[in-house]
Homo-oligomer: A and B are copies of this chain.
Amino acid sequence: MKRRNTQAQAAVLQVLKSSDRALSHEQLQAELGTKVDRATIYRVLNRFCEDGLVHKAMDDDGKQYFAYCAGCDKPNNKHSHNHFHFKCRQCGKVECLQHKMHIPLPAGYVVTDFNGMISGYCNRCAPGEA
Protein backbone atom coordinates (compact mmCIF):
# COMPACT_ATOMS: atom_id res chain seq x y z
CA MET A 1 0.00 0.00 0.00
CA LYS A 2 1.81 3.04 -1.23
CA ARG A 3 0.72 6.35 0.26
CA ARG A 4 -0.69 9.18 -1.84
CA ASN A 5 -0.56 12.91 -1.29
CA THR A 6 -4.08 14.06 -0.68
CA GLN A 7 -5.89 17.24 0.28
CA ALA A 8 -7.34 15.68 3.41
CA GLN A 9 -3.99 14.49 4.69
CA ALA A 10 -2.27 17.78 3.98
CA ALA A 11 -5.02 19.66 5.78
CA VAL A 12 -4.92 17.46 8.86
CA LEU A 13 -1.15 17.49 9.03
CA GLN A 14 -1.02 21.25 8.71
CA VAL A 15 -3.36 21.69 11.67
CA LEU A 16 -1.34 19.28 13.79
CA LYS A 17 1.96 20.86 12.83
CA SER A 18 0.86 24.36 13.71
CA SER A 19 -0.51 23.37 17.09
CA ASP A 20 1.48 23.61 20.30
CA ARG A 21 -0.62 20.92 21.88
CA ALA A 22 -2.13 17.49 21.21
CA LEU A 23 -5.54 17.66 19.56
CA SER A 24 -8.63 15.52 19.83
CA HIS A 25 -10.59 14.42 16.81
CA GLU A 26 -13.24 16.89 17.88
CA GLN A 27 -10.75 19.77 17.91
CA LEU A 28 -9.32 18.80 14.54
CA GLN A 29 -12.78 18.61 13.05
CA ALA A 30 -13.54 22.07 14.38
CA GLU A 31 -10.40 23.46 12.71
CA LEU A 32 -11.05 21.69 9.44
CA GLY A 33 -14.73 22.48 9.21
CA THR A 34 -16.55 20.67 6.43
CA LYS A 35 -13.39 20.36 4.36
CA VAL A 36 -12.67 16.87 5.62
CA ASP A 37 -15.07 14.14 6.60
CA ARG A 38 -15.27 12.77 10.13
CA ALA A 39 -14.31 9.21 9.25
CA THR A 40 -11.55 10.44 6.99
CA ILE A 41 -9.96 12.37 9.82
CA TYR A 42 -9.86 9.21 11.90
CA ARG A 43 -8.37 7.23 9.04
CA VAL A 44 -5.78 9.86 8.25
CA LEU A 45 -4.74 10.05 11.90
CA ASN A 46 -4.37 6.31 12.15
CA ARG A 47 -2.24 6.25 9.03
CA PHE A 48 -0.04 9.03 10.39
CA CYS A 49 0.41 7.03 13.59
CA GLU A 50 1.36 3.90 11.67
CA ASP A 51 3.90 5.92 9.74
CA GLY A 52 5.37 7.42 12.89
CA LEU A 53 4.58 10.93 11.77
CA VAL A 54 2.19 11.55 14.62
CA HIS A 55 1.60 9.96 17.99
CA LYS A 56 -1.51 9.29 19.97
CA ALA A 57 -2.19 9.67 23.67
CA MET A 58 -5.21 8.39 25.60
CA ASP A 59 -6.71 10.40 28.38
CA ASP A 60 -8.41 9.10 31.53
CA ASP A 61 -11.76 9.07 29.77
CA GLY A 62 -10.57 6.94 26.89
CA LYS A 63 -10.45 9.80 24.43
CA GLN A 64 -7.54 10.04 22.05
CA TYR A 65 -5.34 13.05 21.36
CA PHE A 66 -2.87 13.42 18.53
CA ALA A 67 0.39 15.33 18.28
CA TYR A 68 2.81 15.88 15.45
CA CYS A 69 6.12 14.18 16.23
CA ALA A 70 8.59 16.91 16.96
CA GLY A 71 10.69 16.18 20.02
CA CYS A 72 10.47 12.41 19.93
CA ASP A 73 13.35 10.13 20.88
CA LYS A 74 15.03 8.06 18.20
CA PRO A 75 17.20 5.40 19.87
CA ASN A 76 19.25 3.72 17.11
CA ASN A 77 17.23 5.54 14.52
CA LYS A 78 13.92 4.01 15.62
CA HIS A 79 11.13 6.41 16.49
CA SER A 80 9.95 6.08 20.08
CA HIS A 81 7.28 7.87 22.09
CA ASN A 82 8.50 7.49 25.60
CA HIS A 83 7.27 10.76 27.00
CA PHE A 84 4.30 11.71 29.14
CA HIS A 85 1.39 13.96 28.34
CA PHE A 86 -0.33 16.39 30.65
CA LYS A 87 -4.03 17.11 30.49
CA CYS A 88 -5.46 20.05 32.38
CA ARG A 89 -8.80 19.22 33.97
CA GLN A 90 -9.79 22.87 33.82
CA CYS A 91 -8.87 24.21 30.38
CA GLY A 92 -8.58 20.84 28.65
CA LYS A 93 -5.15 21.48 27.18
CA VAL A 94 -3.11 18.37 26.41
CA GLU A 95 0.61 18.84 26.01
CA CYS A 96 3.66 16.68 25.47
CA LEU A 97 6.07 16.74 28.39
CA GLN A 98 9.76 16.91 27.66
CA HIS A 99 11.06 14.33 30.06
CA LYS A 100 11.84 10.96 28.44
CA MET A 101 10.95 7.86 30.40
CA HIS A 102 12.62 4.54 30.76
CA ILE A 103 10.66 1.90 32.62
CA PRO A 104 12.46 -1.16 33.94
CA LEU A 105 10.57 -4.27 32.78
CA PRO A 106 10.70 -7.84 34.05
CA ALA A 107 13.13 -10.11 32.18
CA GLY A 108 11.95 -11.25 28.77
CA TYR A 109 9.35 -8.53 28.36
CA VAL A 110 9.29 -6.57 25.10
CA VAL A 111 7.87 -3.07 24.65
CA THR A 112 6.02 -2.02 21.54
CA ASP A 113 4.09 1.00 22.78
CA PHE A 114 3.98 3.52 25.54
CA ASN A 115 1.11 5.61 26.78
CA GLY A 116 1.53 8.08 29.61
CA MET A 117 -0.97 10.67 30.69
CA ILE A 118 -0.94 12.84 33.78
CA SER A 119 -4.05 14.78 34.70
CA GLY A 120 -4.22 17.82 36.88
CA TYR A 121 -4.12 21.60 36.60
CA CYS A 122 -1.76 23.61 34.47
CA ASN A 123 0.01 26.72 35.73
CA ARG A 124 -2.80 28.99 34.51
CA CYS A 125 -5.57 26.89 36.02
CA ALA A 126 -3.98 25.65 39.25
CA PRO A 127 -6.25 26.43 42.20
CA GLY A 128 -4.81 28.68 44.88
CA GLU A 129 -3.00 30.66 42.20
CA ALA A 130 -5.33 33.56 43.10
Q: Which residues of A contact B (CB under 8 A)?
A: 56, 58-60, 62-64, 84, 86, 89, 97, 99, 101, 103-123, 126-127, 129
Q: How many copies of this kind of chain does the complex include?
A: 2
Contacting residues, chain B, for A64 (C-beta < 8 A): 62
A59 and B59 CA atoms in complex are apart in Å by: 10
Given the complex, which residues of B lie within 8 Å of A89, measured CB to CB?
112
Known contacts A62-B63, A62-B64, A64-B62, A105 near B111 by CB under 8 Å: no
Asked if B113 and A120 sit within 8 Å, CB to CB, the answer is: yes
* Complex CA distance for A62 and B57, rounded to whole angstroms: 10
A59 to B111, CA, bound (A): 14
